[in-house]
Chains A and B, each alone.
Chain A
């Protein structure tokens, strides 16, 4: 699975958009980009995933560059409850012949401030 690079920490003002970047320059053509977040002392929570098109759901938007070497997770109106560690993961889907697990790195610690 391709490796990802994320900034260790970011701040965001409450009510503003939080834009979390992720670099995955070695991503291969059949690897998806997944985002999870982990609020302190809880289990990680799935946010969103995508292959090459931009995706949006009730939690966030995922913007993937055309060359797929980087992506940005956007929380449109950050609240204090969005303070968490955000993990960017790239992976071949289960049915793509790869076995095993999602690799969670250290992620980005997002602090939303009043």
Chain B
């Protein structure tokens, strides 16, 4: 089945540690996004990529990094510089060059600090 897969479902980070969240899609979508969601809040954009080897900062990029070496994959690294990383992280994708803003979301990764 086509879709967008995030792993792991739950992740724990120790102080000073970098962790990487995986996002893979087999929908042949060009654009991919990472959002952060805190309890009871909406979604805030961290990074997005419209095409392979290119990505842009979103509203809250500090303390995060991404790469887009393959169309299918858009991993997010939460670095030690992110002082409050505990949140629900959502990855999304959509085809490029369309007027339909229909985003497809993964099931999310809950990151907690030990």
Chain A residues packing against B (C-beta within 8 Å):
32, 34, 36, 41-46, 49, 87, 89, 91, 93-96, 99-107
Chain B residues packing against A (C-beta within 8 Å):
33, 35, 40-43, 45, 48, 50, 56, 58, 88, 90-92, 94, 96-108, 110
Provide 26 A-B residue pairs closer than 8 Å at the C-beta atoms, listed in order of the A residue.
A32-B101, A41-B88, A41-B108, A41-B110, A43-B90, A43-B92, A43-B106, A43-B108, A44-B43, A46-B102, A49-B100, A49-B101, A49-B102, A87-B42, A91-B101, A93-B98, A93-B101, A94-B94, A94-B101, A95-B98, A100-B45, A103-B42, A105-B42, A106-B40, A106-B41, A106-B42
Give Cα A93 to B102, complex, Å.
Answer: 10
| Shortest Cβ gap from A83 to chain B (Å) | 16
B96 contact set on A, CB distance < 8 A = 94
- Contacts A41-B88, A94-B96 known; A102 to B107 CB distance under 8 Å? no
Give Cα A2 to B23, complex, Å.
Answer: 30
A96 contact set on B, CB distance < 8 A = 99
Give Cα A96 to B104, complex, Å.
Answer: 20
Give Cα A42 to B94, complex, Å.
Answer: 18
Tell me whether B98 and A101 are in contact (CB under 8 A): no
Tell me whether B42 and A104 are in contact (CB under 8 A): yes
A41 contact set on B, CB distance < 8 A = 88, 108, 110
User: Nearest chain-A residue to B45 (Cβ)?
Assistant: A101
| Shortest Cβ gap from A55 to chain B (Å) | 12
B33 contact set on A, CB distance < 8 A = 101
